[in-house]
Amino acid sequence: MRIELAEVTKVFADGKKVLDNICYGEKFNALAIIGPSGGGKSTLLRLLGGLLSPTAGEVSFDGSKVSFDEKHLIQYRRKIGFVFQAKGLFNHLTARQNVILPLVNVHGYTKTDAETAADNLLGRFGLSADKHKFPHELSGGQQQRVAIARAVAVKPKLLLLDEPTSALDPELTGEVLDMLNELRNEGLNIILVTHEMGFAKKACDKLMFIVNGKLAEYGDSEKLFTRPGTAELAVFLSKVLEWST
């Protein structure tokens, strides 16, 4: 899938320029967005998911421009899967009901079709035994896997994730990343904000490095990890990799 950002700028009501003239165009399968805290990564992801509108500039996917008016955005959001850091599940619903609900309420599935789809998906990702549990009865890793299953149940072409593993204990991170990698291998396009540098390097083909609202560097992930083109990225990577190598 090809993504194009043309002079994308976001200024919030307080006048702060959170995204500053972002220009980008690449084909990707999995695109990792990395960078220091407060730089604008989540803002950019929310904008790509149609949850926020840019103050200026344009976004397009595979050549078709995103219309940021409310009527079109409702349609647009339906075609995209979204997974946030944590606490994305409905707490009063079981894992299975969490997957079923949007299929019926948003996507017009019959109850039977939604149940079949949910059971297949949860089974496939090793969650059958837990499907009647409520979120608080699941581990953090299981909760995130249910959230991802729910997001991909309608077979979106694009899945957006904002730090999907950052609230997890380290031993649970792997199972979530494995699931994403499997989905990616099946052709799902993924854009994720992440602090998991191993995943960004090995499982993502493209990388965006955002600093202070600016796209400081981008390109092939593996290459940028091996040979950062800017001192800023080199310093950032040396800091985040310091304790993990």
CB of 117 to ligand ATP, least distance (A): 32
Q: Which is nearer to ligand ATP, 73 or 93 (CB)?
A: 73
Of 38-46, 120-128, 139-147, 211-219, the segment contacting Mg ion by CB under 5 A is 38-46
14 binds ligand ATP (CB under 6 A): yes
The closest alpha carbon to 154, from 127, 118, 187, belongs to: 118
CB of 245 to Mg ion, least distance (A): 24
- Selected from 3, 30, 31, 42, the binder of ligand ATP by CB under 6 A is 42
Q: What does 12 bind: ligand ATP, Mg ion, none (CB cut-off 5 to 8 Å by kind)?
A: ligand ATP
Interacting positions 15-34 with ligand ATP (CB under 6 A): 16, 18
88 binds ligand ATP (CB under 6 A): no
Q: Are 54 and 40 in contact (CB under 8 A)?
A: no
142 binds Mg ion (CB under 5 A): no
Token code pair at residue 57: 């500039």
38 binds ligand ATP (CB under 6 A): yes
143 binds ligand ATP (CB under 6 A): no
42 binds Mg ion (CB under 5 A): yes
| Adjacent-strand bridge partners of 33 | 193, 208
The binding site for Mg ion (CB under 5 A) comprises: 42
The binding site for ligand ATP (CB under 6 A) comprises: 12, 14, 16, 18, 37-43
